[in-house]
A and B are shown apart, each in its own frame.
Chain A
Amino acid sequence: MASLAMYPDDERLAGAARAAFNLYMITAVVLFVLMMLIGLTMRMAQATWLNVPPALFYELLSMHGAGMVGTMSLATTAVMWFFLRKYVRLRLWAFVTNYVLFLLGALCVVLSIFSGGYGALWTFLYPLPIHGMGMWTPGSSALFMVGNLLIGVGSLLFYLDAAAGIIEVHGNLGRALGLQWLLGGTIDPDHPKAVVAGTMVIISNSLGILAGAVALVMSLVNILYPEVVLDALVAKNLIYWFGHQYINATIYMGVIAVYELLPRYTGRPYPISRPFLWSWAVSTVFVITVFPHHLLMDFAQPRWLAITGQLVSWGAGFPVFLVTAYGALTNLYRSDIRWTMPSRLLILSMFGWAAGIVPAILDGTIRNNLVMHNTQWVPGHFHFYLLIGVLSMVLALMFHVIGRRAHAPPNSRADKLGFPVYLMGGLVFVFAFLDAGHLSVPRRMAEHLPAWTFTDKIGSIGAMLVVLAMLYFTIRIMAGLLKAPSAGSAGVGIADAAG
């Protein structure tokens, strides 16, 4: 069971580990702000408050999508690493190599977009990358693919190292997932939730990354040898199998922060249970099999795949509502919680995930998808659980870590002001998207009809508030992480010094 000590000794970081953690988190918050500014620019362009030429808009859209997905993965990888290393041996070189490959990959992506004009979005949907029509060249598409491959290789390396560490301790991934306790037996109360969640991510996202690698290499072959024609439907299945699992893995890595930190703030144990193990076991299957809901409007897809997409989308709500969010609320109910930045963000993250999944489930219903697919309903629901859900998980850990130096979680006046700005801005931002989807406003469009700009303007205002709050969070977190270790704490790692 996770410790109830606010800053346990086994979370101390030292030397290179401290530097690596700092690099991950500082890079992540800076990139989040930059990607948010790009997002704000696009919303203001749709609102006709800014003049952004379509070619630039789609470059920004490609950058925002690839940048946000990559950064969210980078940040939540650090969350998983931070906690998992307490329970299994993780090799620092694998963690650092992932960071280096991410930077190299990100450099390729940035160059492909802003130097090569690449604008086929982060989904690189075949065969668009070879049809730049003067906006981008096949070479820039190839560079984008190489960048994604580097980022994927880094993630896979980290997962392989984590898998090795977990297997060393637990024997195999099934036992780490707790499958031996699903139908009976006494559950080991010390079996770490971080190991269960980490194992699930390793299984599902490794498959996703491999699918993505196949799609990327196939696309590269097509770019280099255009006479090699791919099957568009197969390519789309591979891309969404990869994309869905890659972004979903960020939620499941991020939620480890909730499992580990929430009981410390409520002062109440958050024990592992059979429903918890069941929820992670079925979530593993669901995350791997739910991707056909991205292809519900591809009628050539076999019918059983579309039905699977809908049923699994609905089923995915069970573990979130019944176990994760419900468990967090049970832990919070009538507890002696101390409301500080980390605890506020932890509870907000649970709300973002649980509430955001409602419009996602509705969109995963074939009948609804016929009128909601590729409208702004889609960014509405995924921003709900990524911005309000996952980013809050990451921020909660960052604020928790910077509180270590003062031996007290951050709770300054500015923090108390920044939190509601972030919350209100986030809600206005996502509800503007959802309402636009309800009104049939398309997503991914540089030019909007006058009838569509009202929700764009509301969304822009929400985005401004989010950016404002995030700018403050970034400065606060960077200052906290970069503070020198306090006197007398020689040998104490960054997490100790970082507050």
Chain B
Amino acid sequence: MIVQDVVWTIALAGMGLIALGFIHVIVQAGRPADETAAARSVHTAHTLQAWLFVVLLVGFIAGSWATLHRFPIPPQHGALDAKQVVDVAGRMWSWQITPATVRTGSAVEFRVTSGDVNHGFALYAPDGRIVTQTQAMPGYTNKLLHTFDRPGTYTVQCLEYCGIGHAPMTTTFQVVAPEGE
């Protein structure tokens, strides 16, 4: 399941529901209600508002728990005990990645920093979609943990605008199957 596809589906559904709500009300507008119907509409609107609040609250609590109970960013202080460690340094406008080959199936800790300005370290899978990213900031080292499940040639693309060489600030990165497989 690709995260981007899930996000896209939820976004379209959410915006579609809002559009339907607007269309429903717009269709009714211009046909004024009499006093009794208007009073009934106000009552219904308050009831719906209360239910909408409950739905949003449940969504807020459930969604927050689902997305945060396993925090998606690894601890930044202390060792991560990953079997593979890759040092990444961005500099206008190139990447230094050591080593440039990792294996699938076990976590890789990327230690990402910058030698000059802010850069964005984004890993693109062979199918052209981002699999993960972090910022490369001067004076800081961001630790990114990722387990690759597909071998292939991944592309590193700078995702934080860093001057005229921003777009070509790219390199490739090899992900191979573990030895013996």
Contacts and interface: CB of A to CB of B under 8 A. Distances in A.
6 contacts: A128-B118, A299-B134, A368-B7, A370-B133, A371-B4, A372-B7
For the complex, would chain B's binding face be called helix, strand, loop or mixed by DSSP majority? mixed
Nearest to B10: A362
A317 B14 CA distance: 12
B175 to A, nearest CB: 17
A88 B167 CA distance: 51
Contacts of A335: 29-30, 32
B4 A358 contact: no
A78 B15 CA distance: 30
B100 interface: no
A127 interface: yes
B164 A58 contact: yes
B97 interface: no
Nearest to A348: B22
Interface in B29-59: 29-33, 37-38, 41-42, 45, 49, 52-53, 56
Interface of B: 3-5, 7-8, 10-11, 14-15, 18-19, 21-22, 25-26, 28-33, 37-38, 41-42, 45, 49, 52-53, 56, 60, 63-64, 67-68, 71-74, 76, 92, 116-118, 120, 122, 124, 128-135, 137-144, 157, 159-168
Given A128-B117, A358-B18, A54 B164 contact: yes
Interface residues of A, number: 78
A334 B139 CA distance: 59
A325 B21 CA distance: 10
Nearest to A354: B18
Interface stretch (A67-75, A94-102, A440-448, A453-461): A440-448
A55 to B, nearest CB: 6
Interface in A228-270: 231-233, 236, 266-267
Contacts of B56: 317-318, 321-322
Contacts of B144: 299
Contacts of A133: 92, 163-165
Given A332-B26, A347-B26, A127 B138 contact: yes
Contacts of A49: none
Contacts of B138: 127, 232
Contact of B137 (A134, A300, A437): A300
Interface of A: 54-55, 58, 119-121, 125, 127-128, 131-135, 231-233, 236, 266-267, 275, 297-300, 303, 306-307, 310-311, 314-315, 317-318, 321-322, 325-326, 329-330, 332-337, 339, 347, 350-351, 354-355, 358-359, 362, 365-368, 370-375, 434-435, 437-440, 442, 444-448, 451
A440 B128 contact: yes
Contacts of A267: 32
Contacts of A347: 22, 26
Nearest to B159: A374
B142 A298 contact: yes
A58 B8 CA distance: 29
B164 A329 contact: no
B3 A333 contact: no
Contacts of B60: 314-315, 318
B164 A119 contact: yes
B166 A333 contact: no
Contacts of A368: 3, 7
B129 A371 contact: yes
Contacts of B164: 54-55, 58, 119, 133-135
Given A333-B25, A370-B133, A445-B166, A358 B11 contact: yes
Contacts of B30: 335-337, 339
A279 to B, nearest CB: 11
Given A367-B67, A368-B3, 16 more contacts: A54-B164, A125-B160, A128-B162, A128-B163, A300-B141, A311-B64, A317-B56, A326-B45, A336-B30, A347-B22, A371-B3, A374-B120, A374-B159, A439-B128, A440-B129, A447-B167
